[in-house]
Structure 1
Amino acid sequence: MAELSLITPIEYLKGVGPQKADLLKKELMVFSIGDLLQCYPFRYIDRTKFHKVRELHADMIGAQVLGRLISLQEVGEKRGRRLVGQFRDETGMMELVWFQSLTWLKKTLQVGSAYIIYGKPSEFNGNISMTHPEMELYQQQAKKIGNQTMQPVYSSTEKLKKANLDSRGIQKLQETALMTVLKGVAETLPAYLMEKHQLISFQQALLGIHFPQNEQILKLAIRRLKFEELFFIQLKLLRNKQLNTQKYKGHRFDQVGEKFNRFFTERLPFPLTNAQKRVVKEIRLDCNTGAQMNRLVQGDVGSGKTVVALMSMLLAIDNGFQACMMAPTEILATQHYHGITSLLGEDICKVRLLTGSTPTKARRIIHQELEDGTLDILIGTHALIEDKVKFKNIGFVVIDEQHRFGVEQRAKLWRKNIIPPHMLVMTATPIPRTLAMTMYGDLDISIIDELPAGRKPIKTVHFFENQRLRVFGFMREEIAKGRQVYIVYPLIKESEKLDLLYLEAGLEGLMREFPLPDYRISIVHGKMPVKDKDFEMQRFIKGETQIMVATTVIEVGVNVPNASVMVIENSERFGLSQLHQLRGRVGRGAEQSFCILMSGDKLSKEGRTRLETMVRTNDGFEIAEVDLQLRGPGDISGTQQSGVLDMKIADLAKDQAILTEARQSVIQLFQEDPELGAPENRLLLNYIQKGQPSISWDKIS
């Protein structure tokens, strides 16, 4: 057989074979020797430290003991069968217990021999034992790859363990793999980059991560592998961005015309913040380059993203194009429609709303107006991407809350014109810098980091259940001033698993505290028919009801300037970004607003951190950073569609400095050698050419 390499199928590695290969493929997604070597240890055991039997106690995470196996006996029947060994050193005796792989263990364990064992001690009736300890025959002169002062510990599963592929079994495979292929492993980064960033070689890094001689070598190996992973992610993203700019022509918006100017001078209800002005300017410049724009605008709740989007759409209309805005829910789409039409008035341009609830007759009129070009701006939900919706000349697309749409859904909008429209993606969930650079690395990013003048920061307080009467009293005071109150619950009906205050029970208590006719209550939740939901919303918006009781359906898209109090029940059950979105439903008028976080008395450490963060700061970007630390990138992103977050070793919550270094390195690389034609960059060009998927959605923001 040919010499083994990183791309050799895993079954050909000595010690694997077809059965273990199938398990490795199913359980760990390991298909080749290279995949195996990318299964990095998650911790290391200090093998220089030994404990005596008499020193062991149940609070230890793990302990290593040198002693002798003096007996081995199978006890129990059927499901209760187990193997029990007596293990002794000069200070005492302990019991070793196994419940699995008994036949194999009886064959391989040698009674009377000296072993180094490692495991978690447990205690019962004053006696110490270890269940399923790692066992290694004590041979002082045993030759090992690397130095066993730091023994790697690998993730395994129950199925793998049954096939003797526990951490120790995987370690042996890693040892075999490195001894087999390491000398033939080619370098993946150009020498000048390694020198510039002071990186060890790829071979040294693989050996150093699996079998480090010491802490220093381990640190160097981790840094090299993290830099490489983040560097290649950025290389791909920025290359796609570069290709899109070259390949996809864009409509040129070369004039700021009458509609834009009329809106700016006559209709804008408040002066733009400096941040809004900066973002509008960035969009104007983008739309006049002749290349298609793909830009992400992030701004905190209430920072004025909608006005920026509207001015961008007016720019398109002034240049002879149509524009559309797509939102993920009917509530949000309707909110945008009412907000934009009230800003524009009757005479600047024609705006329509298209959702799943739009009647057939109105739909036909919209389709006709779109195709003959008399409709300027269409606002809607997924209904916009239906094949029946045809534009005469679409030039600008705004997508709100981007993460709620799949890539292919967005691509359908993208294809509504021969020359693709400019794309503006908006999100009100501020994204930590590291996530934005990774998930949206091929987009240009604008940040609206300033709130409009006159907005008072929302005061946030945390109350426990026993302080509820104080909260009711405060609500009465605010309602007496003519204000309105939201109360948000996590569930509609009681859950057997979660001991939560649920909407229906909460409503009963509220009605006792706030009886008719003095107080009126609206109820909105996701299971209601759209008509009923709209009716209740409108009652609250018009001020006919003072209290809105809702589930998280109001997280986005409700704008009632008179509402000054947001009460969030069981707030410890919500994620940080959700709490921040809910808080943003108040604070929209000139009056001081309040967010009250209600919780039970028992809080987890994470729950306490979330609530303390909300009380401490209103800054969505700071909140997003804490959320990233708490939950990790997979959860916070709300999407896995880019595939970018499937990382082997880098951690976006902790590796911001390395990510920035890697991205800057790629930016400089493309500035100096845009086509990667220099001989020293051949490795990188090969990676990009090999790594390109046959169908790429990356160009779609």
Structure 2
Amino acid sequence: MRPAILFPLFADTRSLAGVGPRLEKLIATVAGPRLKDLVFDLPVGVIDRSYRPKLIQAQEGRIATVTVNVLDHLAPRVKSQPYRVRCTDDTSAIELVFFHAHPDWLNKALPIGSQRIISGRIERFNNRLQMPHPDYVAAPGEDMPLHEPVYGLTEGLSGKVLGKAIRASLEKVPAMPEWLDPAFQKQRRWPPFADAIKKAHAPVHEDDLAPTTPERQRLAYDELLANQLALMLIRKQMRAANKGRELKGDGRLKSKVLAALQFTLTDAQQQAVAEIEADMASPTRMLRLLQGDVGSGKTVVAFLALLAAVEAGAQGALMAPTEILSRQHLAALEPLATAAGVKLALLTGREKGAPREALLQALADGEIDILIGTHALFSDDVAFKDLGLVVVDEQHRFGVHQRMTLQGKGAHVTDVLVMTATPIPRTLALTAYGDMDVSRLLGRPPGRQPIETRVLSSDRLGDVVERLRSAMAKGARAYWVCPLVEESEKVDLAAAEERAKELTATLGPKVGLVHGKMKPAERDAAMAKFKTGEISLLVATTVIEVGVDVPEATIMVVEHAERFGLAQLHQLRGRVGRGSGKSSCLLVWVPPLGETAKARLACLRDTDDGFVIAEEDLKLRGPGELLGTRQSGQLEFRMADIAVHGDLLAAARDDAGLILSRDPDLKSPRGEALRVLLYLFGRDEAVKYLRAG
């Protein structure tokens, strides 16, 4: 049950005076449906109205608050003209300009002969001072804020109306029970929660909006602490509810695969395998994230984990986001599976009819040891005899519900290994994957070649084509990536189909094309020709971003590179440098080049460390866009900016762990206060777990 102290803040915004159905919807768009949402809607700017000059001294372009006498009203002769009110002080004159005016209101607010205080931006038109639509018109003695917070708005919602609703909501904020450690709070010199939230809504200068102010740091820490507590509590709940099973392999299949490999596992790979095998052998269900840079050898680690499940008498599933990637996994792993005597199979949306039925029957009978596939693995008719381990590749492309559906395919509780080739900054890993154990594959396997990266303007496109001509004549293979499939009248970007035609005309018939709109069979045929060398240059969209492995490819050209994200460019670059040949990546940009795009391209040119790139990407794009969560609704922080508050996140994680080690059910006085915190920041799943416990 929600703590009584929070009842006022969980009231609907409709409960505020002057907020009807229309305003309620508008406020919900920018903040949310409850008063606490308004309280958490922090200012994004501040208007300083303390500049109070005489009219003769008023500076053009500044917001000024001036005391004037109303001389007369000049109503427009035609509707297209503005309504003007002429005013003076003892030094000069000014016209107040109103478009689409309401004369009755203006005559009441600005009666001729009265003295008024007006505030707004000073402009000059035909060498006369004017103030279009003053922000405030008040009689002497009436209240007018010297400093006014600015909030994000939507069409139909004015700053005055939203500000009034927020001020009314702030009056409902009670003195909260303190959930912070007293010594920690004193060390940081942070105010109590109620004081912090009210001061955050009362900025005086731009500096007061910084995420490093004491009040904003306090609020950010509160939100991060709630997040970390919730993750730990939910993780504890999941482990308590799902005791798991012990999957102990005997190493017989693993030894055969290691003998068949062309290389020795790196120290990082061996450590990751050991961590995964220990998790699988324990009675607790495994939920582990395997992070690795492009080419770090994640697939081999995942396959060894799947073999451990098979050794223990269970089956494994490897799920990939695209058919190309799933078929790539099959092709890469089949030789190793053959060496170990393990039965692999592939299930995608392409398998239909009798072949599909035969495959499903073999799966249900346990004749298939490891099934590789796409979303087709979610189908209701897909049944395993005994699913022990699920490996999910490129997890950020799958929803949590999809992952949970596949876990439910097992007759017993299923272990889960999530792997991603998009390195995740530590701060994001703690917030988005805090319910998982993490293994990181640092470095690359022996034999991986460094990739020379160059940044070129599009006016050198001719030089790029000539370099390709020379390289292709020597037997080289190359990718040319475009952002679009076909020409668009709305967006002037290079189109893959058009570029393929132009390059074929210039370089000859050894140019191929692959994109997501092609039929799977056509796409596979083009990829096969590129792999065998029948095609030397493959023009493509980002369909080749992950999982495409052609060691002979040594050149990557990315056209309109300024339109791609850092992580995506890093993934594309990772398609080359996979063999023994010297490799290069050419990032071609089209002017004008913005500062953010320039920073992205410079980062790619200067480093090939995916974890360094991920940290830079976090700074440039923010957490929501980096994880693709703007649309999915995951990782929503209102107080915290984890690109800035990384140290606070680490402290919150440590604090949450210490709290739960001492008070696992949050029943101490501080624990009761922390329950209030969890409710306040909407961590309902954790609260439900505590209530059930």
Q: What TM-score do the two structures reach when normalised by structure 2? A: 0.90
Instruction: Indicate the residue corresponding to 2:84 in structure 1.
Output: 84
> For the residues of structure 2 that align with 1:622 and 1:76, how far apart are their CA atoms?
65
> For the residues of structure 1 that align with 2:660 and 2:322, how far apart are their CA atoms?
40
> For the residues of structure 2 that align with 1:364 and 1:216, how far apart are their CA atoms?
65
> For the residues of structure 1 that align with 2:197 and 2:124, how far apart are their CA atoms?
39
Cα gap change, 1:117 to 1:276, in 2 (>3 Å): same
2:217 alignment partner, SS class? helix
Q: Displacement of 1:455 after TM fit?
A: 1.5
Matches within 5 A, 1:436-585: 436-516=429-509, 520-585=510-575
Q: Displacement of 1:136 after TM fit?
A: 4.7
> For the residues of structure 2 that align with 1:194 and 1:440, how far apart are their CA atoms?
27
- The answer to whether 1:44 aligns with 2:35 is no
- The answer to whether 1:371 aligns with 2:364 is yes
Q: Displacement of 1:422 after TM fit?
A: 0.5
Q: Displacement of 1:387 after TM fit?
A: 1.2
Cα gap change, 1:545 to 1:143, in 2 (>3 Å): closer
Instruction: Indicate the residue corresponding to 2:658 in structure 1.
Output: 668
2:248 alignment partner, SS class? coil
Q: CA offsets, 1:403-431, max 9 Å, x none?
A: 21222222211111242211111111112
- What are structure 1's unaligned runs of at least 5 residues? none
Contact kept? 1:325, 1:398, Cα under 8 Å: yes
Instruction: Indicate the residue corresponding to 1:306 in structure 2.
Output: 299
Q: What TM-score do the two structures reach when normalised by structure 1? A: 0.89
Once the two structures are overlaid, the 10-residue window that deviates more, 194-203 or 211-220, is 211-220
Cα gap change, 1:237 to 1:115, in 2 (>3 Å): same
Q: Displacement of 1:674 after TM fit?
A: 2.3
Cα gap change, 1:258 to 1:602, in 2 (>3 Å): same
What amino acid sits opposite 1:160 in the alignment? L
> For the residues of structure 2 that align with 1:30 and 1:101, how far apart are their CA atoms?
32
- The answer to whether 1:632 aligns with 2:622 is yes
What amino acid sits opposite 2:190 in the alignment? L
Q: Displacement of 1:306 after TM fit?
A: 0.4
Give 2:162's match in structure 1, choosing from 153, 159, 170. 170
Q: Displacement of 1:437 after TM fit?
A: 1.4
> For the residues of structure 1 that align with 2:581 and 2:655, how far apart are their CA atoms?
48
> For the residues of structure 1 that align with 2:542 and 2:269, how far apart are their CA atoms?
29
Q: Displacement of 1:457 after TM fit?
A: 1.7
Instruction: Indicate the residue corresponding to 1:617 in structure 2.
Output: 607
> For the residues of structure 2 that align with 1:123 and 1:345, how far apart are their CA atoms?
82
Instruction: Indicate the residue corresponding to 2:176 in structure 1.
Output: 186
Cα gap change, 1:532 to 1:31, in 2 (>3 Å): closer
Instruction: Indicate the residue corresponding to 1:152 in structure 2.
Output: 149
What amino acid sits opposite 2:429 in the alignment? A
Contact kept? 2:233, 2:686, Cα under 8 Å: no
What amino acid sits opposite 1:374 in the alignment? E
Once the two structures are overlaid, the 10-residue window that deviates more, 33-42 or 593-602, is 33-42
> For the residues of structure 1 that align with 2:518 and 2:322, how far apart are their CA atoms?
14
What amino acid sits opposite 1:18 in the alignment? G
- The answer to whether 1:289 aligns with 2:286 is no
Matches within 5 A, 1:320-339: 320-339=313-332
Q: Displacement of 1:52 after TM fit?
A: 5.9
Q: Displacement of 1:173 after TM fit?
A: 3.6
Cα gap change, 1:72 to 1:338, in 2 (>3 Å): farther
Once the two structures are overlaid, the 10-residue window that deviates more, 18-27 or 288-297, is 18-27
What amino acid sits opposite 1:258 in the alignment? R
Instruction: Indicate the residue corresponding to 2:670 in structure 1.
Output: 680
Contact kept? 1:299, 1:447, Cα under 8 Å: yes
Give 2:231's match in structure 1, choosing from 207, 215, 237. 237
1:75 alignment partner, SS class? coil
Contact kept? 1:403, 1:639, Cα under 8 Å: no
> For the residues of structure 2 that align with 1:428 and 1:453, how far apart are their CA atoms?
18
> For the residues of structure 2 that align with 1:220 and 1:371, how far apart are their CA atoms?
59
- What are structure 2's unaligned runs of at least 5 residues? none
Instruction: Indicate the residue corresponding to 1:34 in structure 2.
Output: 36
1:459 alignment partner, SS class? strand
Instruction: Indicate the residue corresponding to 2:220 in structure 1.
Output: 226
Instruction: Indicate the residue corresponding to 2:64 in structure 1.
Output: 64
> For the residues of structure 2 that align with 1:446 and 1:203, how far apart are their CA atoms?
40
What amino acid sits opposite 2:385 in the alignment? K
Q: Displacement of 1:560 after TM fit?
A: 0.5
> For the residues of structure 2 that align with 1:234 and 1:486, how far apart are their CA atoms?
43
Instruction: Indicate the residue corresponding to 2:132 in structure 1.
Output: 131
Contact kept? 2:553, 2:576, Cα under 8 Å: yes
1:537 alignment partner, SS class? helix
Contact kept? 1:257, 1:319, Cα under 8 Å: no
Instruction: Indicate the residue corresponding to 1:5 in structure 2.
Output: 8
Q: Displacement of 1:607 after TM fit?
A: 2.0
> For the residues of structure 1 that align with 2:332 and 2:324, how far apart are their CA atoms?
12
What amino acid sits opposite 1:63 in the alignment? I
Cα gap change, 1:589 to 1:124, in 2 (>3 Å): farther
Contact kept? 2:487, 2:495, Cα under 8 Å: yes
Contact kept? 2:13, 2:24, Cα under 8 Å: no
> For the residues of structure 1 that align with 2:443 and 2:578, how far apart are their CA atoms?
15
Once the two structures are overlaid, the 10-residue window that deviates more, 540-549 or 500-509, is 500-509
Instruction: Indicate the residue corresponding to 1:96 in structure 2.
Output: 96
Contact kept? 2:422, 2:571, Cα under 8 Å: yes
> For the residues of structure 1 that align with 2:485 and 2:164, how far apart are their CA atoms?
52
1:349 alignment partner, SS class? coil
1:324 alignment partner, SS class? strand
Matches within 5 A, 1:253-272: 253-264=247-258, 266-272=259-265
- The answer to whether 1:210 aligns with 2:213 is no
Q: Displacement of 1:642 after TM fit?
A: 7.1
Contact kept? 2:23, 2:157, Cα under 8 Å: no
Instruction: Indicate the residue corresponding to 2:192 in structure 1.
Output: 201
Q: Displacement of 1:486 after TM fit?
A: 0.6
Instruction: Indicate the residue corresponding to 2:76 in structure 1.
Output: 75
Instruction: Indicate the residue corresponding to 1:22 in structure 2.
Output: 24
Give 1:386's match in structure 2, choosing from 379, 382, 407. 379
Cα gap change, 1:225 to 1:138, in 2 (>3 Å): farther
Q: Displacement of 1:151 after TM fit?
A: 2.8
Give 1:276's match in structure 2, choosing from 265, 269, 273. 269
Contact kept? 1:51, 1:63, Cα under 8 Å: no
Contact kept? 1:583, 1:595, Cα under 8 Å: yes
Contact kept? 2:337, 2:343, Cα under 8 Å: no
Q: CA offsets, 1:330-361, max 9 Å, x none?
A: 00000011011123335420101111112433
1:565 alignment partner, SS class? strand
Q: Displacement of 1:676 after TM fit?
A: 2.2
> For the residues of structure 2 that align with 1:100 and 1:36, how far apart are their CA atoms?
31
> For the residues of structure 2 that align with 1:469 and 1:498, how far apart are their CA atoms?
22
2:291 alignment partner, SS class? strand
> For the residues of structure 2 that align with 1:568 and 1:665, how far apart are their CA atoms?
45
Q: CA offsets, 1:483-518, max 9 Å, x none?
A: 1011111112221122223223323331232134xx
Q: Displacement of 1:194 after TM fit?
A: 3.7
Contact kept? 1:23, 1:160, Cα under 8 Å: no
Instruction: Indicate the residue corresponding to 2:311 in structure 1.
Output: 318
Contact kept? 1:439, 1:645, Cα under 8 Å: yes
Q: Displacement of 1:226 after TM fit?
A: 1.1
> For the residues of structure 1 that align with 2:181 and 2:608, how far apart are their CA atoms?
46
> For the residues of structure 1 that align with 2:433 and 2:649, how far apart are their CA atoms?
13
Cα gap change, 1:562 to 1:186, in 2 (>3 Å): same
1:426 alignment partner, SS class? strand
